[in-house]
Amino acid sequence: MKQEVKSRETQELIINKSFDLFYEKGYNATSIPDIMKKTSLSKGAFYHHFKNKHEIGKKVIEVIIRKRIKEGFIVPLSDINNNVPELLLDVFTNRIKNYSEREKALGCPANNLIGEIGYSEEDFRIILKTLIEEWREALIKTIDIGKYRGEINSKVNSSSTAISLICAFEGVRSVRKVYDDDVIFNEFMESMGSFIKNLGIQQVS
């Protein structure tokens, strides 16, 4: 029992530190020795718990990145007392203001990983796709609730709107990475704001 706890703690430490490094340096640029330095553990510890680098990559996506998307973008949508456009405005614009300088400069961990995978690393692609799908489904549900309540125009296509919100958001976090100020975020929030507000009024066919 005591051993089980220790084992889990070690694994979590390795996963967390791996995430930090992948986020800062990228997946390919991070080596196993890099991870071991950060954890103050040995290579023996790593290979006792994980099969190889690919394995820790998968775990980081499945556990850490998934948790971040869930807590940052899916859970906040369940605050259904709030008006739906307000909710979307909050999740996709207001929250940007609270990002740390580090988060602004490093962008979205999921998106960074997507950028790194080419034809290779098919495993990563599939897990990341699942995460995006979970996010998208939650958004569709929220938009549908908005329609039902009359807060969102019934002509709005929930599915395509959901994808556009995700894409625009991932896009701005990516583009922001090349800037060293918040101009891009501020401009984006203005335009995104009117896009979301427009969901409530009559659309062009």
Partner DNA sequence: AAATAAACATACTATTTAGTATGTATTTTT
Partner DNA sequence: AAAAATACATACTAAATAGTATGTTTATTT
Kindly list the residues in this chain that would bind DNA in the complex (CB under 7 A).
1-4, 6-7, 10, 31-34, 41-45, 47-49, 52-54
**CB contact at 8 A, 118 and 55:** no
- By beta-carbon proximity to DNA, the closer residue of 10 and 198 is 10
Q: How far is the CB of 146 from DNA (least distance, A)?
A: 46
Residue 22: CB atoms within 10 Å? 25
Pick 50 or 124: Cβ nearer a second copy: 124
User: In angstroms, what CA-CA distances link 92 with 33, 169, 173?
Assistant: 37, 7, 11
As a whole number of angstroms, the distance between CA 62 and CA 67 comes to: 8
Binding mask 19-48 for a second copy (x = CB under 8 A): ----xxxx-xx-------------------
43 binds, among a second copy, DNA, none (CB under 5 to 8 A by kind): DNA
Which DSSP letter does residue 75 get?
G
Single out the residue of 13, 32, 41, 184 in contact with a second copy (rule: CB under 8 A).
184
Please, which residue, 13 or 145, has the CB nearer to DNA?
13
Considering only residues 103-142, where is the footprint of a second copy by CB under 8 A?
A: 105-107, 111-120, 125-126, 128-129, 132
Compute the distance between CA of residue 77 and CA of residue 40 in angstroms, rounded to an integer. Answer: 39
Beta-carbon-side half-sphere exposure of residue 57 (alpha carbons within 13 Å): 23
